[in-house]
Amino acid sequence: MLEIRRVRKQFGGFTAVDDVDVTVEVGTIHALIGPNGAGKTTVFNLVTGVLPPTSGRIAFRGTDVTGWRPDRITGLGVARTFQNIRLFREMTAVENAMVARHCRTRGGFLRALARLPWREPVSERETRRRAEELLEVVGLSGRRDALAEDLSLVEQRRLELARALAVEPALLLLDEPAAGMTPPEIRELNRLIRKIRETGVTVLLTEHHMSLVMEVSDVVTVLSYGRKIAEGPPAAVRRHPRVLEAYLGPGA
């Protein structure tokens, strides 16, 4: 699904990502973890086109997307959520989900001219229907008409997830999806991520809640100071000496 090959990102004299290799297989839940400042979000920004890599190659389903614009990468089937929530705060929940589907709908000048004020176009009705389905999937069907700014933190995170799913992604990137959640809410998120995978969506996530990572992931890649230090099944990674040292210090 995704191949990251010897990718490096430098900001002046600082190397945030240092020759990282990661392969995300189709149908898996793959976690990218590491201490604060390890380079996880930078990798997400490189994959989604928010930042261009200094060097290296990124391929999505066999297509080299290195340096592509975010909208082109999204059009191929890549969607993401953000660690810092980025909703349209003065729009309703259903409107936020509808906006994300613009890359899967058709429009244009002639269609706009032909629109009748009293009739909702078929494409818009379908977009609204799908948005409402996704709000139900994430547990927000009862809040469809609430403004995004009036939702709780957990509800806003669920709305970001619904908005990302509205893109109909093959690959979904989740950046700290459990931030601010209670243990019961994290368990519900665990079930939701597994449910998303069952629909055929491959998931790449970053997360600090190790209980969630170890329970939900098929493969875990660990970064430290921009370098990959370990990769494998959760049970093996959690015992890896370099991982213990990165999180707990020398001698751990």
Q: Kindly list the domain boundaries of the chain, sorted by start residue.
A: 2-77+169-248, 90-155
Q: Find out if CATH 3.60.10.10 is the number for domain 2-77+169-248.
A: no
pLDDT of residue 73: 95
pLDDT band of residue 252 (cuts 50, 70, 90) is: low
- DSSP notation for the chain: -EEEEEEEEEETTEEEEEEEEEEE-TT-EEEEE-STTSSHHHHHHHHTTSS--SEEEEEETTEE-TT--HHHHHHHTEEE--SS----TTSBHHHHHHHGGGGGS---HHHHHH--TTS--HHHHHHHHHHHHHHHHTT-GGGTTSBGGGS-HHHHHHHHHHHHHTT--SEEEEESTTTT--HHHHHHHHHHHHHHHHTT-EEEEE-S-HHHHHHH-SEEEEEETTEEEEEE-HHHHTT-HHHHHHHH-TT-
What pLDDT does residue 251 have?
65
Which band of pLDDT confidence, cut at 50, 70 and 90, is reported for residue 109? Answer: very low
pLDDT digits (tens, 9 = 90+) for 152-194: 999 999 999 999 999 999 999 999 999 888 999 999 999 999 9
pLDDT by residue (tens digit) across 5-20? 999 999 999 999 999 9
Task: Provide the percentage of residues in the chain whose pLDDT is more than 70.
Answer: 90
- Average pLDDT (195-201) is 93
pTM (predicted TM-score): 0.87
